Chains A and B, each alone.
Chain A
């Protein structure tokens, strides 16, 4: 190889070396933090679960939890997520926990995380909105404008509808599971 061609390779080689060095750094940092990140995510889910069913024990089955109080089955808890208004602009989806009673009514709903507009869509995490879900059956779980019994937040119809849709989807899922005689 001529000297000129070797010199022509230099930029590519320098870039390659820099990429390799920084990839190595990223591997190390990822390894150091991944345990902690997973733990943070588990804690978030556990906190939401215990808010829906305080002082209960959870047994994870496939994609839902059986909830026991003093060894007796009292209901189910499910994690749901879906796109709200924030997700449209590349934000995080709405993540929530739904507690379902044995009679297939909703016990309560807690939002784990969301990226809705602050001051408007962010009201989905307030008790005023979420307390409406308690005791509702599958048929009631629609916005009032769609024939259901949930009032949307003023100015945040898309966020409200997203929450109602996620909750209805999860209740439907557990209702069909229970229908199979489990």
Chain B
């Protein structure tokens, strides 16, 4: 068990900015910080549990059926979190919409199962998934904070105004798909320039 397995996923091997995995939800749900937090929570739940389960069952899963087995595990976990969200946080489930069930095909989750959890000890796998989740969550929050601030002029999280109206005529394009590509592209360029990742 090494602590680097946790820390590497946060900045150095950040899911979005370094590995470029899980870009689809990053582009789609980062309209508001609130959605980003919901998506980050759902992905953390699925990623940590799937890494744990995959690492536990890796010993007796034959190599030829390992991908179908991982997908069954991941899809089931996604369905569980979807049921729970629809029951206890319906507005969030509605905002995330189709991207909640689509966590199943988030490359980050299958990627970590295949590349890490299926060949490492359980403790390392949990640390890796936690680090990756934190990194993914931070990336979503960064992108969504920029987009919500520029696109809506203020940041509101679960009914609390975190940043009051700073722009009276916000750039609506930032809440649309082009805004997502622009934000991620510029952040990526800045990080590469200053060798953060």
Which residue numbers of A lie inside 8 Å of B, CB to CB?
Answer: 10-12, 14-15, 18-19, 22-23, 25-26, 29-30, 33-34, 36-37, 40, 44, 90-92, 113, 115, 117-120
Contact = CB atoms under 8 A, between A and B. Distances in A.
B97 A115 contact: yes
Contact of A14 (B61, B86, B90, B152): B61
Given A10-B62, A15-B69, 14 more contacts: A11-B64, A14-B60, A14-B61, A14-B65, A18-B57, A25-B76, A29-B83, A36-B88, A37-B86, A37-B87, A118-B175, A119-B152, A119-B172, A119-B175
Interface of B: 31-32, 57, 60-62, 64-65, 68-69, 72-73, 76, 79-80, 83-84, 86-88, 90, 94, 97-98, 151-152, 172, 175-176
Q: Give chain B's interface secondary structure class.
A: helix
Nearest to A44: B90
Nearest to A7: B62
A82 to B, nearest CB: 17
Contacts of B176: 117, 119-120
Given A25-B80, A92-B94, A14 B87 contact: no
Contacts of A92: 94, 97
Nearest to A40: B90
Contacts of B98: 90-91
